[in-house]
Amino acid sequence: MKILGNRVLIGLIALLLLIIPASLPQAQQSNRVDLNLVLAIDCSYSVNTQEYALQMAGMAAAFIDPTIIKAIKSGPYGAIGVTVVQWSHRDSQIIVVPWTQISNVQEALSLASMIARTQRQTSKGATSISAMLNIAQRQLDASPFQAARNVIDVVADGENNDGERVELVRDRVTARGTTINGLAIQNEVTYLEHYMRNRVIGGNFAFVERAASYEDFARAIHRKLLREIQNVPVS
């Protein structure tokens, strides 16, 4: 998947938001969704400005892709709940997109616009996957939506090196019925996929998606979101 620049992407989303509402009926809001999804974006010191932009542009592009929208609408309730967390060290986790329901094209575009416009808000520092998992679970506990599945989507380019042992937090989180999936960006840590598989992910149907680099992020996050939304294996 080709990544659009953030400015081009924002402009495209703004144009689509102007065109679509005139012909698209509004979906009736409900507190029932098929999936509650926490998207956790790595903003530690190893992520530079360009790499941060590639993460946000790739994620925004995924939500305006027709295959993702079709997958969302094909569920029993035809909707998912999404929130986005930026994270770095143990004391820096910020909710940058609050819980948002996605059930149609307009809502997906609106979410994509919020993601594409979001500036980096965390302080740079160490990599605390464990602290992020704690915050993400609290977000799931406080979600306004009732979901059949709760998933934490961990994006990282390095190992947990701050805060609690990540295995201990993983076990607490998965004991609550939450699934933890990983997206390993292997631009520096070549074994990160295996690390996340052995130490980070857990719960029903947990998996790790691999991005060879930040330039490969858009492809990887699209594939990962499709798999999470459909809750079926993707070859």
Q: What is the pLDDT of residues 14-30, one digit of tens each?
A: 545 554 454 444 555 67
Report the distance separating Cα 228 and Cα 135, nearest Å: 20
pLDDT (tens digit per residue) in 203-220: 999 999 999 999 999 999
- Sign of the CA dihedral with 42 first, then 35, 151, and 207 last: negative
Across the range 46-71, mean pLDDT stands at 95
Strand pairing of 146-156 and 208-211?
unpaired
Across the range 161-185, mean pLDDT stands at 97
- Could you tell me the residue range of the domain that residue 25 belongs to? 6-230
- Asked if pLDDT for residue 169 goes beyond 90, the answer is yes
pTM higher than 0.75, yes or no? Answer: yes
- Asked if pLDDT for residue 93 goes beyond 70, the answer is yes
Across the range 135-159, mean pLDDT stands at 97
Question: For residue 1, is it within any domain?
Answer: no
Across the range 10-14, mean pLDDT stands at 54
- Asked if pLDDT for residue 13 goes beyond 80, the answer is no
Question: For residue 38, is it within any domain?
Answer: yes
Instruction: Write down the residue that tokens 């909707």 correspond to.
Output: 79
Q: How confident is the model at residue 123 (pLDDT cuts 50, 70, 90)?
A: confident
pLDDT (tens digit per residue) in 102-116: 999 999 999 999 999
Question: For residue 14, is it within any domain?
Answer: yes
pLDDT, position 23: 44
pLDDT, position 12: 56
Domain tally, the chain: 1
pLDDT, position 79: 97
Q: How confident is the model at residue 34 (pLDDT cuts 50, 70, 90)?
A: very high
pLDDT, position 203: 97
pLDDT, position 72: 97
Question: For residue 235, is it within any domain?
Answer: no
- Asked if pLDDT for residue 1 goes beyond 80, the answer is no
Q: Give the residue among 114, 111, 125, 150 at the shortest CA–CA distance from 42.
A: 125
pLDDT, position 232: 61
pLDDT (tens digit per residue) in 171-181: 999 999 999 99
pLDDT, position 233: 53
Question: For residue 81, is it within any domain?
Answer: yes
Burial group, residue 133, by CB count within 10 angstroms (0-12, 13-18, 19+): buried
Which tokens sit at 185?
């960006």
DSSP-assigned states of every residue in the chain: -PPPPHHHHHHHHHHHHHHGGGTSPPPPP-SEEEEEEEEEEE-STT--HHHHHHHHHHHHHHHTSHHHHHHHHTSSSS-EEEEEEEE-STT-EEEEEEEEEE-SHHHHHHHHHHHHHPPP-SPP----HHHHHHHHHHHHHT-SSEEEEEEEEEEESS---SSS-HHHHHHHHHHTT-EEEEEEETTS-TTHHHHHHHHT-BSTT--EEEESSGGGHHHHHHHHHHHHHHTS---
Type of residue numbered 211: A
- What does the CA dihedral 18, 57, 142, 128 come to, rounded to 10 degrees? -170
What residues are paired with 10 via a beta bridge? none
The percent of residues in the chain predicted with pLDDT above 70, rounded, is 86
CATH number, residue 87: 3.40.50.410
pLDDT, position 234: 47
